[in-house]
Structure 1
Amino acid sequence: MMRFLRPVLGLLAVGFLARRIYLDRADLATALSTLSPAAFGTALALVIAGLVAMMLAWRTVLADLGSPLPVPAAARIMFAGQLGKYVPGSVWAMVGMADLARDRGVPPGRTVGSATISLALTLGCALALAAARLPGAFWPVLVLVVCGLHPKVLAWALSVPFRVLRRPVPEHRVSGAGLIEAAGWTAVGWLLWGGAVWVLADAVAPAGTGWSLYPVAVCAYALAWAGGILVVLAPAGLGVLDGALVLGLTPALGGSAALAVAVAVRAALILADVLVAAAGLLVPAQARERKSTELM
């Protein structure tokens, strides 16, 4: 059944992505013409580097759960599977990753569990960064994030759907060391993504802004990303992320410049997803490994 669904899901993901590029072609062209090629190219490179860091965070969690993968294989699974986020709904990226990971003998439940933990890490880091710009909110949010990401809390949260479905609860648990390493890669990813927004914002900001705009860019994008991911019906955070980013950057840049940056960020995100997915698919598929008999 999954062999039938794989090309269907792939075609849907590519189709929705192509449709999004077509519908946004005028805005994307305007944004690209507003900014220098050097600024956009630097931002694109930082976005791609951030995606690689996030992939390494997910790979760390997956290995901690009992399924270590070589970096090329992990890149192929994550970057190709992540195109599913452009299909409306909130599960298609994980479905795509789980299907591709089967070829490496990874149980679907373990792939979904590791992706869920990675998403929780990314969201927790985003909320902590966003709260850094809200007086009095940073420490309460940070304490809440740290408590929510405790290995025992994550283990309990991940066991709930298995218990509801009356399926065997996964025997592997993410460790504190694994979470710390994955959180480190996640933090690196956020610094790179914030750098991409900063490069674009600095290109249209008033003279003399410089590095003082970097924390604004990081926190504004973190808040916008968190809003986009929490609205599960918005494919790839479309509309929610962009609007929130405009609101976050307007006080520092002005409305028109903030809008140009938001559109350029969207262009960089789409192009980066296309490039890393294409690069991931160029990695030769490994011979199908012996399937695990574990039911997860």
Structure 2
Amino acid sequence: MNDFEDDLPFIISLRRVNRGVGYVALFLPVWLILVTLFTETCFNASISHYYFSRIGGDLLVGSLSFIALLLAFFYSFPPDDVDGYRKHTKLDIWLAKLAGVSAFLIAFSPTTGSGCLYDGSEVARVFITGATGSEVFNNDIRDVTGTITYDFWASFSRFGSPDNVPVILRSIHFAAAAMMFLILAYFSYFVFTRTNSSASLKPGNRKFRRNVWYRCLGIAILLAVLAIGMKSAALEWFLSPEGAMAMETWWNRWRLTFVFETVALCSFGLSWMIKGRFIKAFEDEAALLRQGLTA
């Protein structure tokens, strides 16, 4: 028996896996907005900054970990033998795994900065460096004191402060996010648009309809990534300090990083939901007949 012939008492559906990945990605921004509305959480500057919020941090890390696990470990099938995935190449499988690893890095290497101006009613999840005191273990010192930091790597005593953290460590989160979204744009535009199933070759197929959506969603992911990248480049290289401050203030006032990340996540989610045929409008007639359904 090889790795692709497991004796399981149930059926694993690749389409359901695709739908699961898609639903989680699509609704993550919605969940975070609801967290803001119902838990007195600051409307953060980006989706990544919700790591520092109550409940929002758990939703962010949990959702990214779920996506990462499926992308990194589930897609290991022989592409030539699975109907619906016949045109997938080994490169595609390795890219899916790389996207999964990138999702792990996004989740467990948080972004820097608070992403918010907190008031007295809001509770933030932060790191404390140089912490002393304990309410439980030391009766003489009731308060925990230290320096609040919104930099994951700087919370390690080895570095001591954000300035001592190597550039590569500070850049892991942003590089991983760019890598993941670029791979997902590639999947939506180039991989999902291939003729992968026997049903899509028969009369009554809806391959053209799906491909229009795949390409539009792939372009939306790419444009969202480019918008955030161009903003970062402008702040770093092209604008004066005063201009950079003015632009960043305007950008954050409208939560544009959150907006573009939402566009990318929702486009990614919807693309994979279509791949999983979440509604019959995207299913081929031959496949519907085989399932005992009607268009």
Taking structure 1 as the reference length, what is the TM-score of the superposition?
0.26
In our comparison, the structure showing a higher alpha carbon Rg is 2
Q: Which has the higher helix share?
A: 1
Taking structure 2 as the reference length, what is the TM-score of the superposition?
0.26
Larger RCO (alpha carbons 8 Å, 6+ apart): 1
